[in-house]
Amino acid sequence: MAKSVLLKSSIAKKVAMALSGLFLILFLAQHFFINSTSVFSPDTFNAISHFMGYNPLVQFVIQPILIIGVIFHFIMGFVLDLKNRSARPVSYAKYNGAANASWASRNMIISGSVVLAFILVHFYDFWVPEIMYKYVEGSPLEASRYYPELVHKFESPVRTGLYCLSFILLSLHLWHGFNSSFQSVGFNNKYSKGLHKLGYAFAIVVPFGFIFIALFHHFNH
Of the candidates 76, 108, 85, 106, the residue with the CA atom closest to the CA atom of residue 12: 76
The one-letter code for the residue type at 24 is L
d(CA 197, CA 220): 34
User: pTM score > 0.85 for this model?
Assistant: no
One digit per residue, pLDDT tens: the chain, 221 residues? Answer: 544 544 456 667 677 777 777 778 888 899 999 999 999 999 999 999 888 888 888 888 888 888 888 888 888 777 777 776 666 555 444 445 555 566 556 666 676 777 777 777 777 777 777 777 777 776 677 888 899 989 999 999 999 998 999 899 889 888 877 777 766 656 666 667 777 788 889 999 999 999 999 999 999 97
Q: Rounded CA gap, 156 and 49, in Å?
A: 22
CA–CA separation, 56 and 27 (whole Å): 17
Q: Quick one: CA dihedral 23, 67, 119, 142, positive or negative?
A: positive
Rounded Cα distance, 191 and 179, in Å? 12
The residues, ordered by sequence, that sit 6+ positions from 50 with a Cβ below 8 Å of its Cβ are 141, 143, 146
Percent of the chain as helix, strand, coil, to the nearest 5: 85, 0, 15
The residues, any chain, with a CB within 8 Å of residue 106's CB and separated by 6 or more, are 97, 98
